[in-house]
Amino acid sequence: MSKFDESELVYDPSTLAELESVFGRVRLMDLLSHLNSEIAQRLLAPETDRSALRHDAHTLLSVSGSLGFFELSRRCIEMEQACLLGIDLVAPLRAARSAAKGAIAAIGELEACAIAATTEACAA
Distance of CA 75 to the CA centre of its chain: 10
> Distance between CA atoms of 27 and 109, rounded to whole angstroms?
17
Computed on alpha carbons and rounded to an integer, the radius of gyration of the chain in Å comes to 16
Q: What is the pLDDT of residues 7-38, one digit of tens each?
A: 468 999 999 999 999 999 999 999 999 999 99
Looking at per-residue confidence, does 113 or 1 come out higher? 113
Instruction: Sketch the domain layout of the chain as residue ranges.
Output: 8-123
Closest among 17, 16, 51, 48 to 35, alpha carbons compared: 16
- In this prediction, residue 123 carries a pLDDT of 36
- In this prediction, residue 89 carries a pLDDT of 95
CATH number of this structure's domain 8-123: 1.20.120.160
Q: Are 47 and 61 in contact (CB under 8 A)?
A: no
Q: State percent of the chain over pLDDT 70.
A: 88
Q: What is the pLDDT of residues 33-59, one digit of tens each?
A: 999 999 999 999 999 999 999 999 999
- In this prediction, residue 42 carries a pLDDT of 96
- In this prediction, residue 12 carries a pLDDT of 95
Closest among 105, 117, 103 to 20, alpha carbons compared: 117
The pTM (predicted TM-score) of the whole model is 0.86
